[in-house]
Amino acid sequence: MAFSFKKSAELFPAAVRKKRRAGFTYRRFDTAADAVRFAIEELPADSLNGAYLQVDEARFDQNGIRSLYDSRDFPLPRRESETASAETSASKDAA
């Protein structure tokens, strides 16, 4: 069965005992696409490390979340990466 980005999803933070991470607690999203986008584009890397996404009975770790985001089936616009932005700026400057 194919993954559905339209299903609701829950994003759980990593269990961290040494320090509290400000701003990232459990969140529920109307769609898995919104949850994946939030995890990749909004969470700091250290918060994403150890977090997991649950959609129905399926769980996705950091690598699974990244795979969903990179999937050609991902339905939302992706934020342009910093590397791509720098390359685009450099090519415009050279022209």
pTM for the predicted model, two decimal places:
0.76
Q: Give dist(CA 10, CA 30) in Å, integer.
A: 9
4 inside domain: no
* The pLDDT value given to residue 19: 57
* The pLDDT value given to residue 81: 62
Q: Where are the beta strands (DSSP E) in the chain?
A: 9-12, 27-29, 52-55, 58-60
2 inside domain: no
Contact 33, 74 (CB under 8 A): yes
Contact 69, 81 (CB under 8 A): no
Residue 17 has pLDDT above 60, yes or no: no
In the structure, what pLDDT confidence band is assigned to residue 1 with cuts at 50, 70 and 90? low
Domain extent at residue 60: 9-94
* The pLDDT value given to residue 90: 46
Q: Supply 82's token pair.
A: 């910093």
Q: What is the mean pLDDT of residues 31-56?
A: 92
In the structure, what pLDDT confidence band is assigned to residue 64 with cuts at 50, 70 and 90? very high
Q: Give dist(CA 30, CA 38) in Å, integer.
A: 12
Based on the structure, what is the number of domains in the chain? 1
In the structure, what pLDDT confidence band is assigned to residue 36 with cuts at 50, 70 and 90? very high
